[in-house]
Chain A
Amino acid sequence: MKLLQVHDDVFVFRFNPGEKQALLSTLKNFPALPPSPHRLSKSTLLATAENQRLLDESLAAQRAQNQKQVAALLLKPERLKRVANNWQFTVTRPEIEILLQVLNDVRMGSWAALGCPDLDREDGVTINEETLPHVLRMELAGHLEEFFVMAVSGEIPPA
């Protein structure tokens, strides 16, 4: 994955076919978590049923919108186009924020599917046939997140 250019708020990336496939297959797993896995507050006085319902509805609507926007983004030929043997991906800064939200949902969903292990411990995750797809998805989503964050923060210079 390379950052080719940044102009105003538009970022142009280059992916090889394997990287493009990795991005698409990761995004395809969205949504991986329930709309609002966390409560509004730990206090029952603040997290009333009504307040929690409003938050859940709002997050569910946001998620549906993210899903539509990502699908539309990947379907537009001018946004994801083949250039020689590679793929050129053009996205705006706000669209990268949506991608980050989607990627982190997939990362957290994969982690939840593994039983929420402590990733700081060496024996936190047992790799076997059942867990491997979740581990790969979680790691891939994290790698893509890190790449996009570094690109928008200027830590990756355009190639």
Chain B
Amino acid sequence: MATTANPEVIPDIGSEKQTDPRDAREPGYVVICWNDPVNLMVYVTHVFQVIFGWEKAKAQKHMLEVHEQGKSVLTRESMEKAEFYVHELQKYRLHATMERA
């Protein structure tokens, strides 16, 4: 009598597509603020304080970097958080972008 072997099910671990890719969660993205000659120093400092919750001294340091060096790297984050911060900064009309670290 022929017997039928139970099919062996092997979990297909490797082929599943990740919905939350590792690189999206890792802090591999930097948020950069670029100099705009029109934004007031006091305004830029205020926006950094509001968005990042920084003390005035830290916000001023980054504002001066933007003013004197043309740009400042504000933070290094996951892709989602970097997008969030760029959005928040652009709401205030600051010239901000995100780049791969």
Contact = CB atoms under 8 A, between A and B. Distances in A.
Range class of the B interface residue count: 20 to 34
Nearest to A39: B97
A100 B38 contact: no
Given A104-B39, A108-B36, A149-B46, A41 B91 contact: no
A133 B67 CA distance: 27
Interface string B36-65: 111110110011001000001000000000
A138 to B, nearest CB: 7
Interface residues of A, number: 38
A38 B90 contact: yes
Contacts of B98: 40-41, 46
A101 B97 contact: no
B92 A41 contact: no
A94 to B, nearest CB: 10
B50 A105 contact: no
A78 interface: no
A101 B91 contact: yes
B87 A55 contact: yes
Contacts of A145: 40, 42-43
Given A38-B97, A41-B97, A41-B99, A111 B90 contact: no
B43 A120 contact: no
A142 B87 contact: no
B100 interface: yes
Contacts of A62: 91
B93 A120 contact: no
Interface in A126-159: 138, 142, 145-146, 149-150, 152-153
A105 B93 contact: yes
Interface of B: 29, 36-40, 42-43, 46-47, 50, 56, 83, 86-87, 90-93, 95-100
The 3 tightest CB contacts between A and B, nearest first, are A111-B38, A149-B46, A104-B93
13 contacts: A40-B83, A41-B97, A41-B99, A46-B98, A55-B87, A100-B47, A101-B93, A105-B93, A108-B38, A111-B38, A116-B37, A120-B37, A152-B46
